[in-house]
A and B are shown apart, each in its own frame.
Chain A
């Protein structure tokens, strides 16, 4: 486990040498391959070394983060071509990957918090440094302050736990019961803001719209899943309070997910639509974790992985359009099937996965979540039905608006997708639709 950390640290000097842009990306793919071949044991923590570990959740999320980081570099070729500080960009990506890797793999809860906060700084630098509009400053401030407002009470909670239990090892937390209401709120609020839950979700559309493609990919791909991962770790020692109070978060997130799905229909900005659809999916994930049954955890974990791949792919597609037309607006991006029919295939594949059509991994996640939420309460059937229906609705709306119809008359010429872009989208779609053939890697925990 430490060997991957050292591999990433020593990739940092490589970022600053000349003409090493694609080499860094290849090294990240290589590291992904090495990491995939680690032993995968269920029911326990494996690969433990000095302060690192892996278990099923960490393994999958680290794989996802390495994958998305390497695809981020592949998607940002325009930075290399235009020579826009790509050295520092590579350094940012590798630094972010190191922080995410450490977040998912340290054994100590306080170090988890430390790297969780530390991963915000390169994200902020990515959004404000390489974004396109002047509103990105405000977006960066919203991102930083929403997350910090939630996570400072988390720090207080973690240190309180340390003073009480004299241990911070995540593995040992399941033997304790800390059933205090204030501790519960302070521990989970940070993750709810990060997920994001409905009432504290305002930072996400702003940050996604203003971010460059790499920033959007990493935000949608992994940063939201940090919240889910934290919730999965922290629920264990708060079980009694969970049983009493979780219904609040389930209700807020499900009803909020319904409102957000309806709001997706009103969006004019492509990226804003995809961002709101992220919030709607994550609302189901929060519901699944909070019901605290096994299918709920499985469904939310599967939906986290599949949403990471799917949303990241959709942001790549939105960026492919943006690089050609320099606009994210739906009015300008219509009738694309006339110009880029092959790209229309990829829009369809990724949007159909977004609406949880078979054979995508989203389908399995949503089915598991529907099962677990309905088993918790029959009334949630109505909300889940509406959320799933609307997610199909806005995915089809986006697809049809962009691809079909008459094109915008003010377009200049541009070329159909390059091989790099097709490869990028293929690498997003392939795990998403092929992993459903061997789901026991991600759905059997014990």
Chain B
């Protein structure tokens, strides 16, 4: 059931539902968008080659509908009981919690690494990037600052420490996505423009990485060492992972730098320390993935033949942009 028009239909409704959710005038419209989002993602999951797809779709449905019901209930309570605009109350905490659960943020993240095992790479890409847009923007409409700062800390710590013991590439990217959610929640507390900037660059980096893994059909870490990658694929992998970790001189450094700037303007000194230290742990397990691309001659199996499905010129171009854009942009703006 790959590449057929059924999936294209549901994909179209998925995109449309996010647009409904973020551009509605009333909280009901937001809820409607979230529900249609959930319903149209489920058919995309089904894949007869993956043994876990049924379990995945059931888990996704249960968690997301629980969050949606919670959200609807809190909207109704807010309409009927609360007539003020104060955001420091229990209702905002509940609404934020339900949205955080939709995104897969800690402490409601337990479903997220579970179900990425049952999804193909393209579905993972949709889950990690597009599905985060509408909950994020809804979060920015009515958030509770103290609660969200606590959630950011939990996201960062769980995202960094959770990935230390993983060998499946999908789970690793899931934990890294949870960590990046911490950065994104902070950026949406500052400004929506800032969040958009971070989100676009993050989506670009994740898309490069996921398309690389998709073309090589790789799902686990030990597969990185067995096959015979040619030199440019390894270089691409290296650049993309280091860029995702936020190391200069790659492009992934820029959004983190700007967020650190805003953290310091707003005097979040303890929080920035946690941001830095968890980012070090994340870089550790990224580098574990790309050991094979540091070493030029390692033990390769001769009977493994790596056939690339498409040509890689787009990925090569985007990696080149990833190195050079950072350096070029510093020359322009400074």
Most interface-central of A51, A85, A118, A140 (chain B CB within 10 A):
A118
Binds B, one of A154-162, A198-206, A321-329, A377-385: A154-162
- A144–B283 Cα distance when bound, in Å, is 10
B163 CB → nearest A CB, Å: 16
Interface of chain B residues 285 through 334 with chain A (CB within 8 A): 287, 291, 294-296, 326, 330-331, 334
Residue on B with the closest CB to A85?
Answer: B296
Most interface-central of A84, A88, A128, A152 (chain B CB within 10 A):
A152
B77 at the interface (CB under 8 A from A): no
Which B residues touch A141, using CB under 8 A? 284, 287
Which B residues touch A144, using CB under 8 A? 283, 287
Taking Cβ atoms with an 8 Å cutoff, the residues of B that contact A are: 231, 242, 247-249, 253, 257, 260-261, 264-265, 269, 272-273, 276-277, 279-280, 283-284, 287, 291, 294-296, 326, 330-331, 334
* Interchain CB contact (< 8 A) of B280 among A84, A85, A148: A148
- A118–B273 Cα distance when bound, in Å, is 21
Residue on B with the closest CB to A51?
Answer: B334
- A163–B267 Cα distance when bound, in Å, is 10
Q: Are B265 and A114 in contact (CB under 8 A)?
A: no
A74 at the interface (CB under 8 A from B): no
Given A51-B331, A141-B284, the answer on whether A160 and B248 have CB atoms closer than 8 Å is no
Residue on A with the closest CB to B266?
Answer: A163
* Interchain CB contact (< 8 A) of B247 among A121, A128, A137: A121
Q: List 9 A-B contacts (CB under 8 A).
A: A111-B334, A114-B248, A117-B248, A129-B294, A145-B280, A148-B280, A155-B257, A159-B260, A162-B261
Q: Are A128 and B276 in contact (CB under 8 A)?
A: no
Given A51-B334, A121-B242, the answer on whether A152 and B249 have CB atoms closer than 8 Å is no
A125 at the interface (CB under 8 A from B): yes
Which A residues touch B248, using CB under 8 A? 113-115, 117-118
Which A residues touch B295, using CB under 8 A? 128-129, 137
> How many A residues touch B, CB cutoff 8 Å?
36
Q: Are B280 and A152 in contact (CB under 8 A)?
A: yes
A149 at the interface (CB under 8 A from B): yes
Which A residues touch B334, using CB under 8 A? 51, 108, 110-111
Which A residues touch B280, using CB under 8 A? 145, 148-149, 152
- A118–B242 Cα distance when bound, in Å, is 11
A135 CB → nearest B CB, Å: 12
- A357–B231 Cα distance when bound, in Å, is 48
- A125–B242 Cα distance when bound, in Å, is 12
Which A residues touch B265, using CB under 8 A? 163
* Interchain CB contact (< 8 A) of A114 among B249, B264, B284: B249
Which B residues touch A393, using CB under 8 A? none
Given A121-B249, A160-B264, the answer on whether A137 and B291 have CB atoms closer than 8 Å is yes
* Interchain CB contact (< 8 A) of B279 among A125, A129, A152: A152
Which B residues touch A162, using CB under 8 A? 261
Which B residues touch A117, using CB under 8 A? 247-249
Given A141-B284, A159-B260, the answer on whether A125 and B249 have CB atoms closer than 8 Å is no
Which B residues touch A110, using CB under 8 A? 334
Which A residues touch B261, using CB under 8 A? 159, 162-163
Residue on A with the closest CB to B331?
Answer: A51
Which B residues touch A125, using CB under 8 A? 294
- A149–B248 Cα distance when bound, in Å, is 14
A153 at the interface (CB under 8 A from B): yes
Q: Are A148 and B242 in contact (CB under 8 A)?
A: no
A197 at the interface (CB under 8 A from B): no
A62 at the interface (CB under 8 A from B): no
Q: Are A156 and B260 in contact (CB under 8 A)?
A: yes
Which B residues touch A152, using CB under 8 A? 276-277, 279-280
Q: Are B249 and A99 in contact (CB under 8 A)?
A: yes
Which B residues touch A153, using CB under 8 A? 276
A140 CB → nearest B CB, Å: 7
Residue on A with the closest CB to B326?
Answer: A114
Which A residues touch B277, using CB under 8 A? 152
Which B residues touch A128, using CB under 8 A? 294-295
Q: Are A156 and B272 in contact (CB under 8 A)?
A: yes
Given A99-B249, A118-B248, the answer on whether A111 and B264 have CB atoms closer than 8 Å is no
- A159–B276 Cα distance when bound, in Å, is 14
Interface of chain A residues 94 through 131 with chain B (CB within 8 A): 99, 108, 110-111, 113-115, 117-118, 120-121, 124-125, 128-130
Given A111-B334, A156-B272, the answer on whether A145 and B279 have CB atoms closer than 8 Å is no
- A423–B231 Cα distance when bound, in Å, is 34
Which B residues touch A88, using CB under 8 A? 231
- A153–B264 Cα distance when bound, in Å, is 12
Given A99-B249, A117-B248, A155-B257, the answer on whether A148 and B283 have CB atoms closer than 8 Å is yes
- A162–B334 Cα distance when bound, in Å, is 13
Known pairs A51-B334, A156-B264, A163-B261. 14 more at Cβ < 8 A? Answer: A85-B296, A99-B249, A111-B330, A111-B334, A114-B330, A121-B247, A129-B295, A137-B295, A144-B283, A148-B280, A155-B276, A159-B260, A159-B261, A163-B265
